[in-house]
Amino acid sequence: MAESLATADPRIRVEVDGAVGRLLVDHPARRNAVSLAMWRAIPGAIASLEAHDAVRVILVSGAGDLAFVSGADISEFAEVRRDAVTGAAYERANAEAFAALREARKPTVAVIRGFCLGGGMGLAVACDLRIAADDAVFGIPAARLGVGYPPECMRDVVNAVGPMRAKELFFTARRLTAPEALAIGFLTRTVPAADLAAEADRLAAEIADNAPLTLRAAKSAIGLVSGDPATADPAAVLALADACFNSADFAEGRTAFLEKRKPLFHGR
């Protein structure tokens, strides 16, 4: 049975099911649009999954079939994003939510069905991998709302699709189909909508079976070579790789290979 963890907002739900942690955006009345309170709850939710010893991989999804996340909750903008000062505070909450996913030590996977728009694309692109139903819809409508994105949020989009495609997404504000999002590099893969949950669970299990220290070292090294400021310390990145060779998991991996069996890793 899945274990539920407390969060700062009930519309940001967290569950642990074996080695899989799940963060679920649950605001169906607004197609899972994210309010300011929900943005603020996300870092703590991710921290709780990071701290949970059993969790090896984190899946991020939206409740129901209509949307992953349809964007920010625009109905509250007149209050929480009414001018430059409140807008800056709102952007900080956005940035902190995205950073919590981007900087998580454990692998993160966005599981996308339905609408993935604006802040939804921001949450998805902050994850390490993105798997989507083949009928999902994507877009960044900032230019139709007069909204500005800070550089740290732009970086994720640019890293995923490159500068030219990122400009196209923002300049046109047009919507993309899942095949288009896959073609430009935004998605890891697409699957039939009916198979999404099963495929996400299969992918999570495949990741969770592997050595946690190796996954952490790989994520950090990839961040370094791709220019992620959060992993800008080469010595720290190298130390993570060195730790793998000093671990019990390395010994287990060697032994399991020689014994022709599946390794059992413990992250130490």
Q: What is the CATH number of the domain that holds 43?
A: 3.90.226.10
Q: Identify the domain containing residue 254 by its residue range.
A: 212-258
Which ranges of the chain does DSSP label H, i.e. alpha helix?
A: 36-51, 77-80, 84-102, 119-125, 142-145, 151-161, 163-172, 178-183, 196-208, 212-225, 234-245, 248-258
User: What pLDDT tens digit does each residue of the chain (268 aa) get?
Assistant: 789 889 999 999 999 999 999 999 999 989 999 999 999 999 999 999 999 999 999 999 999 999 999 998 888 888 887 887 887 888 889 899 999 999 999 999 999 999 999 999 999 999 999 999 999 999 999 899 887 777 877 899 999 999 999 999 999 999 999 999 999 999 999 999 999 999 999 999 999 999 999 999 999 999 888 877 777 688 988 898 899 899 998 888 889 888 899 988 988 8
Both 243 and 162 in one domain: the answer is: no
Both 132 and 227 in one domain: the answer is: no
The answer to whether residue 268 sits within a structural domain is no
Q: pTM for the whole thing?
A: 0.94
Both 120 and 241 in one domain: the answer is: no
Distance CA 148, CA 146 (A): 7
Query: Total structural domains in the chain?
Result: 2
Both 100 and 224 in one domain: the answer is: no
Q: Of 208, 228, 250, which residue constitutes the final position of a domain?
A: 208
The answer to whether residue 86 sits within a structural domain is yes
Q: Which of 132, 91, 94 is nearest to 110 (CA)?
A: 132
Both 251 and 137 in one domain: the answer is: no
